[in-house]
Amino acid sequence: MNSVTVAVGVMLVLSLCRVHVVVALIVGAFVGGTLGGLGMDGSLEAFNKGLGNGATVALSYALLGAFAVAIGKSGLADVVAEHALRLIGRESQKSTHAVKWAILLILLAVAIASQNILPIHIAFVPLLVPPLLLAMQKLRIDRRMIACIITFGLITPYMLLPVGFGAIFLNEILLGNVATAGLDVSGINVMEAMVIPATGMVLGLLVAILISYRTPRDYAEPSVGSSIRVTKRSPMTLVVALIAVAAAFVVQLWLDSMILGALSGFLLFATFGGVRWREADDLFTEGMKMMAMIGFIMIAASGFAEVMKATGDVKVLVDDAAEWVGGSRALGALLMLVVGLLVTMGIGSSFSTVPIIAVIFVPLGMTLGFSPLAIVSLIGTAGALGDAGSPASDSTLGPTAGLNADGQHSHIWDTVVPTFLHYNLPLLVFGWIAAMTL
C-alpha cells in the first residue's frame, strides 16, 4: 500500500469522524511516514522541518484577524450589514430576494476579484463575511452555499484566467513545469486547455446555488463581534476605517506581503483614532483568536506535506498509476486525475502539486499519445483537483474562517464536503473529457 494514499485516507477518515483537522493531519503524517520507511524519528524530523513553511501564512491570517476585528470596532462593517437588514425589514418578498441575490453576487464578485483584479486571496473573508452573518440568518441562506460560492471564486479564476494569481499558476507554474519536464509548450493557449475543466466548476456552482442548497436553513442569531461593537459611530472613524482598508490592500500588492498589509492597516487605524491604544492589545488578541484555527491547520498541513515528500512515495504512486494504465488513454487520463486528487488533498495546494506531478505526467502523457494541449489540461486539472475539497487548503479554510465566526459552521461537513462534491467530482469528469477531446 502506498504511504501517500494511506496518509491521505487516514487524514480524511479522521476529519469526517469529526476529529479536529490538526489532529487528523498529524496522525495521518506519522502513519504515512512510518509506512513510507521514515520511522517515527524520520517522520518527526520531516514534520518539524515542514512546520516553518506554514508559519508565514499562519501569521498573515492572525494579523488579518486582528485587522478585521479593528474594522468591526469602527462600525464600518455594521453599516454594510445594517443597509442589508433595512432592505430585508421591508417585508417585501421581492426586495428580500433582491437582497439575497445581491449578497451572493457581491461575494462571488469579490472572491473572483481577489484572484485576478486585486490579488489579495482570502484577505477579504474576515473583513466582509462575519458582518453579513446576521443578514444571512434573516434571509435563511444556507451557509454551505456561501462556502461553495467563495471557494469557486478562489479557485476557478486562477485556473482559467492568466491574470493575477492566474498568471503565476498558468504561466509560471503550469506551463513552466510542463516545459521543464520536456514538452514543447510554444503556441499553446493555456486558456483553451483549461476552459473545459473550468466549465465543470461553473456547473458545480450552479448546482450548489440552484439545487443543493436553495432550501432555506435556520441558524441561531449570531452575536459576532458583540464584545467589540460600538453604539455610536462617527463619520471620521468610518473614513479612517476606509483609508485603513485601502492602505492594507495597497501595501499588500506593493510589497507582496499579506503580513505587512494587515499590519499597516491596523497601525494606521490605531494611529488616527479608529482604535484607542489601550484597547489595541485586546483587539489584537481577539482577532488572533478568531483566525487561530486556520493558522494552526496551515502549519500542520505544511508538516504533513513535508513528510509525504520525504517518503518519496508520491513518485511511486505516479509510477504505479503509469503501470496500471497499460496503453489505454481513457484509463490513463482517469488515473492521472485521481492521483492528482490524492496528492493535492494531502498537500492542500495546487500550486505545490504541479511541480511534483508534472515530471512524471508529461512523459506518461506523451507515451499514451495525448496532444500537448491535452497534457497541459490534464496536469492543470490534476493540480486543481483537491484544492477545493482538501481540509488543509486555504480555499476551504478561508470561507470557514468567516462563516464560522459565530461557531455555527463546521469546516469539514459545511465547507469541505460540499466543495468536494460540487467541484472535485465535476473536475474529474470534465478534466477527463478535456483530455480525450483536445
In angstroms, the CA 422 to CA 210 distance is: 12
Q: Phi/psi class of residue 216: alpha, beta or left (left: φ > 0; alpha: ψ in -120 to 50)?
A: beta
Give me the pLDDT at residue 95, please.
Answer: 67
Contact yes or no for 66/52 (Cβ under 8 A): no
Distance between CA atoms of residues 165 and 157, nearest Å: 8
Query: How many CB atoms lie under 10 A from the CB of residue 275?
Result: 26
**DSSP class per residue in 341-401:** HHHHHHH--HHHHHHHHHHHHHHHHHHHT--HHHHHHHHHHHHHTTTTT-TT-HHHHHHHH
DSSP labels, 14-50? HHHTT--HHHHHHHHHHHHHHHTT-HHHHHHHHHHHH
| Closest by Cα among 180, 179, 197 to 188 | 179
Do residues 145 and 107 make contact, with C-beta atoms less than 8 angstroms apart? no
Q: At what angle do helices 394-403 and 143-160 cross, to 10 degrees?
A: 150
The set of cell numbers assigned to 24 is 487528523
- Closest Cα partner for 145 from 401, 402, 418? 418
The one-letter amino acid code at 386 reads G
Distance, in Å, from the CA atom of 302 to the CA atom of 296, rounded to the nearest integer, reads 10
Q: Which residues contact 277 (CB under 8 A, 6 or more apart)?
A: 270
What stretches of 89-223 show up as alpha helix (H) in DSSP? 93-113, 125-139, 143-160, 165-166, 176-180, 190-207
In degrees, to the nearest 5, what angle opens at C-alpha 433 toward C-alphas 432 and 434?
90
Q: How far apart are CA 329 and CA 433, in angstroms?
A: 12
Long-range contacts of 169-173 (CB under 8 A, 24+ apart): 169/350, 169/351, 169/354, 170/194, 170/380, 173/351, 173/354, 173/355, 173/383
Q: Running DSSP on this structure, what letter comes out for residue 222?
A: P
The confidence score (pLDDT) of residue 119 equals 62
Distance in angstroms (rounded) separating the CA atoms of residues 232 and 220: 26
On the 0-12 / 13-18 / 19+ scale of CB atoms within 10 A, 256 is exposed
Q: Could you tell me the CA-to-CA distances from 430 to 282, 310, 333, 427 in Å, in that order?
A: 49, 32, 11, 5
The pLDDT of residue 274 is 59
Check: CB of residue 139 under 8 Å from CB of residue 90.
no
List the chain pLDDT tens, one digit each, 438 residues: 678 788 888 887 887 787 877 888 889 889 988 988 888 888 898 888 888 766 776 777 677 777 767 766 666 666 666 666 666 665 556 667 888 888 899 899 988 888 776 666 777 787 778 878 888 888 899 999 999 999 999 999 988 988 777 887 888 888 888 888 788 888 888 899 999 999 999 999 999 999 999 999 999 876 654 444 444 456 777 777 778 777 877 887 777 676 787 788 778 877 776 566 666 677 777 767 666 666 777 788 778 878 887 888 777 776 777 677 766 788 888 888 888 887 777 666 677 677 777 877 888 888 888 999 999 999 999 888 877 888 878 788 889 988 988 889 998 899 999 999 999 999 999 999 999 998
- CA contacts within 13 A on the Cβ side of 174: 32
Are the C-beta atoms of 262 and 60 separated by less than 8 Å? yes
Predicted confidence at residue 178, as pLDDT, reads 87
Give residue 93's pLDDT. 61
DSSP label at residue 327: T
